[in-house]
Structure 1
Amino acid sequence: MTPTPDVLVVGAGMAGLTAAHALAARGLRAVVLEAGADVGGLVAAGTVGGYEVDLGAEAFALRRPEVLALAEGLGLAVERPAGRSWVWAEDGDAVGAVPIPAGSLLGIPANPDDADVRLAIGPDGAARAAQDAHLGPEVGADAADLAALVRARMGEAVLARLVRPVAGGIHNADPADLAVDSVAPGLRAALAREGSLAAAVRALLAAAPPGAAVATTTGGLFRLPRALRDAVVAAGGEVRTGSRVTALRRVAAPGPGAGERAGASRGGSGADGAEAAIWEAAVTGPGGPATLRAPRVVLATPGGAALDLLRGLVDVSDVALPAGSAITHVTLAVRATALDAAPRGSGLLVPPGAAAVRAKALTHASAKWAWLAAATAPGEHVLRVSYGRPGERTDDVEPALALRDAATLLGVPLPPASLLDARVVARAGALAASTPAHLAQVARLGERVRALPGLRVTGAWVAGTGLAAVVAHAQAVAGEISQ
């Protein structure tokens, strides 16, 4: 008979796998239940043009150390991107790409008078941004969202031409919907300390690891969830795909006097409750319906599924999940020797309202990552063209459109005959913005969940977007529930 696990982890995305791995390091056996056919969630892989590449998230931020340490601890090699990033600019008849200023954070320049900043936002925009140095630190200090902060300190041009395409492209949301403290931790504190937004950015950049702000695992970021899965199994745990948890309840633990102990646990401490009662999960899977029990449960599903399971256990009536916009990535394998020179470096971002293209971003993946550059045949390239802003439809996006947009953005002819293969991946509402209101709701929900012994919730919808936030939160949750 299979022994009762120490922990049930619901969801095998990066949050669930990270939590299970951290629990295993503490000597706890986890069974991970994933409704889908594969692990990784938004970190997914696929084959395009004969190359196995990332079809979901492709990199992680280095502003926090957790993901880098996790990857290296699993024995994975890590590499930084090559080439600069660009931003698309349309100013009257002047249409083209300009480099993203090297010294910037989410598009906020560390030096508004830098030549690349002036090129991107024009002399008038640069003059307005330079006023930041003469404003008191109280200006914008109370701004909860990124757009309000940037507009107050540096003006509309910096927001529209740099921050909106850069921060919006990273987080798939308008900066007005991004909580400053979530997407740029420490920025407001640095503003108060340094006296200007530019100086605050310089301080945060100086404290960050040298080199690129992001990295990936050599061979593709998808290798990270696979390595986590293998490590969990090697430690004695299980990862079951095609296994959907449909209900969750707390029942009396087996053994003499279990009923009395379970009743007492409802108001007790986490440790006492974990010994007095047990969690029971109803699961549908390849073998039909089943019931699994464990003293601890970590919910690491997307927000909607987590709230469905929590409903009836805690009050979730005041939690309204932000509506994430639909996004579509089109990965293209092309043969075009004109791309050998990487004319737009690692890729470029497009601000909202661009007339020349519908795309919001392009990644020249085989120029950005050394591992993929080494894998591709001479003259062949892998591009990713991304679509989907808040309120925009993406269900009509197809490879032909992506190829045309790529040619425009890269400034290189890409006729239909240059296309070797394509893969379209659409995700509906996968990345919801971490708005200030949502963060407050999540904090209240977290307090209610912590009152239930042996239950915790993690995932991007509570941790914030980006692997750095997700991994750190999942590891913290594993530490809490293991005590």
Structure 2
Amino acid sequence: MTAAGMNVDDLAARARDTRVVVVGGGLAGLAAAWRCAKVGMAVTVLEAAPALGGTLRRVELAGTTVGAGPWGWSSRGGAVHELVDDAGLTDRVVEAAETATWLARVPKVGAVPAPEASILGIPENAWDESVRAVIGWGGTWRAYLDRVRPPLTIGNERNLGTLVRARMGQDVLDRLVAPLSVGGFGLDPGEIDVGHAVPKLNAALTRTGSLQSAVAELRATRAEEGGVPPLKSLDGGMPQLVDALAARLAERDVQIETGTRVERIVRVGDVYEVAVDEDHVLVDDEGEEGESSPTRVADLVIVATGETDARRLLGGLLGRDLGAARSVTREIVTLVVDQAALDALPRGATVHAVPGTGAADSVVVESARWAWLAGVLGAGRHLLTVAFGSSREAPATEGLSDADAIELARSEAEAFLGVELPAVAGAHRARFELARPASALGQPEEAAEIRARVAGISGLGVVGAWISGSGLARVVADAGDEAERVRRARLFAPERGQ
């Protein structure tokens, strides 16, 4: 017997009688659907787009199949590895190559390597030559004041931008810290919460007496603990994880409907009515159109859409306006170029610009990070991703035609990498809602409030980067935890009258 007084057969029977609708077929939705399907629940996945995957969408470029979204995951935690194992792709896991990060369009300097001895761009020694090359003598002398100023009290400053400016000056903030936060997360340093981004930084600052010494102490601790977990991916690209999960779900008789936008979700008694676009027509495996009810009835509903739709659907269920989406609009232009000069990685694999100095925020040479991709493309051919748009400003590509956006991306990549890119062999343009990281100011608190309200409604869950924080590792772990909460509440709920 289980702790709830039910035996395994009872639990299995209850699982089989439980109807689950997952709204959204991105990685979070598929992970949540898998968690429910594994125990025998009857699951339906409804995806508004023509194909599953969300940001892990598939792109064909110059004869190569790649993804247009995230290229890998942080190996911290084991949630993604577990999902990859379940999908049968363990033997395809690969690790990113160690490559340098550069800074571009540094005033009066140009392009230089980013200092390695740093955290979030904050250097452990302002006098280091690699730091002085970026901020100059004036910036170095200003940063030196950090060594002689009184330390802050523990937890006194949460705003990363304010902390760095006060301790080390504007040049460190603008030229070292901002390029990483804007290029990587689309956020200004003033939108990053120090306590969540580097939980022990303020305490180390109080203990050591300076921000630079605090960074040095934390870096030493990280080194003792094995360093920063490497970035991992799949040989052949991340979209294959979507395909493999879809196949596993099909084996469990999960119903997957694409091109199906959910208009609203209504709680009626003990069940949910999930209303979809009335013009939707279900197409079976043979390609034949059939009847499709505009309403799905479910015992459990897990909302796994992007932020805008999730706030709309949950707001209706919770009876309150959840406000506008806070995600950043970002456009990624993926380019395949023929340029043998890039084989030598003259500026590493990742180049972030000083914000406000040009159109693009960052350029990544993905073929330098992933050996499998370099092998597929061949010597002299490279794949680049060029990112536009942050919380500071809309993407510079907004309103441009595809041809003009691609040309802008080419010219920006040329400037960032310092090599001529005379022609583009293939290109793709994608627009995303870039979710804020869990380290964004106010994000954890707002997420916790929404989660608490959702948990107050029986059989309802919510997953996705906008609620968990960005990053595939965090998204997958959170999706598993939330699906587990919802399914356990259903399986172990007492029978009526007990």
TM-score (norm 1): 0.84
- Tell me by how many angstroms 1:452 deviates: 0.6
Tell me which residue corresponds to 1:265: none
Tell me which residue corresponds to 1:466: 471
Tell me which residue corresponds to 1:169: 183
TM-score (norm 2): 0.81
Q: Tell me, which stretches of 5 or more residues in structure 1 are unaligned?
A: 253-276
Secondary structure at the residue paired with 1:436?
A: coil
Contact kept, 8 Å, 2:435 with 2:469, in 1: the verdict is no
Deviation track 1:11-50 (CA, whole Å, cap 9, x = no partner) reads 1112111212233344444322111111221122201111
Tell me which residue corresponds to 1:205: 222
Contact kept, 8 Å, 1:140 with 1:152, in 2: the verdict is no
Tell me which residue corresponds to 1:119: 133
Tell me which residue corresponds to 1:260: none
CA gap of 1:192–1:20, structure 2 versus 1, over 3 A, is: farther
Contact kept, 8 Å, 1:16 with 1:300, in 2: the verdict is yes
CA–CA separation in structure 1 for the residues paired with 2:206 and 2:481:
28
CA gap of 1:409–1:294, structure 2 versus 1, over 3 A, is: same
CA–CA separation in structure 2 for the residues paired with 1:115 and 1:68:
39
Contact kept, 8 Å, 1:446 with 1:457, in 2: the verdict is yes
Q: 1:91 aligned to 2:107? A: yes
CA gap of 1:455–1:325, structure 2 versus 1, over 3 A, is: closer
Tell me which residue corresponds to 2:123: 109
Tell me which residue corresponds to 1:70: 83
Amino acid paired to 1:141: G
CA–CA separation in structure 1 for the residues paired with 2:20 and 2:203:
38
CA–CA separation in structure 1 for the residues paired with 2:146 and 2:324:
35
After the TM superposition, which of the residue ranges 394-403 and 176-185 deviates more from structure 2?
176-185
Q: 1:286 aligned to 2:281? A: yes
Tell me which residue corresponds to 1:12: 25
- Tell me by how many angstroms 1:278 deviates: 2.0
What percent identity do the matched residue pairs reach? 34
The CA RMSD measured in Å over matched residues stands at: 2.8
Q: In the TM superposition, what are the counterparts of 1:303-452 in structure 2 within 5 Å? A: 303-317=307-321, 319-354=322-357, 357-389=358-390, 390-392=392-394, 393-395=396-398, 396=400, 398-415=405-422, 418-427=423-432, 429-432=433-436, 435-452=440-457
Secondary structure at the residue paired with 2:379?
A: coil
Q: Tell me, which stretches of 5 or more residues in structure 2 are unaligned?
A: 1-15, 283-291, 489-498
Contact kept, 8 Å, 2:154 with 2:203, in 1: the verdict is no
Secondary structure at the residue paired with 1:143?
A: coil
Amino acid paired to 2:414: A
Deviation track 1:63-87 (CA, whole Å, cap 9, x = no partner) reads 4443344334532422232221211
Tell me which residue corresponds to 1:261: none
Q: 1:297 aligned to 2:310? A: no
CA–CA separation in structure 2 for the residues paired with 1:170 and 1:231:
33
- Tell me by how many angstroms 1:187 deviates: 4.5
CA–CA separation in structure 2 for the residues paired with 1:44 and 1:186:
37
Amino acid paired to 1:398: A
State how many pairs are aligned. 449
CA gap of 1:40–1:402, structure 2 versus 1, over 3 A, is: same
- Tell me by how many angstroms 1:136 deviates: 5.6
Deviation track 1:123-145 (CA, whole Å, cap 9, x = no partner) reads 44345445545556535733333
- Tell me by how many angstroms 1:449 deviates: 1.4
- Tell me by how many angstroms 1:219 deviates: 1.4
Amino acid paired to 1:425: A
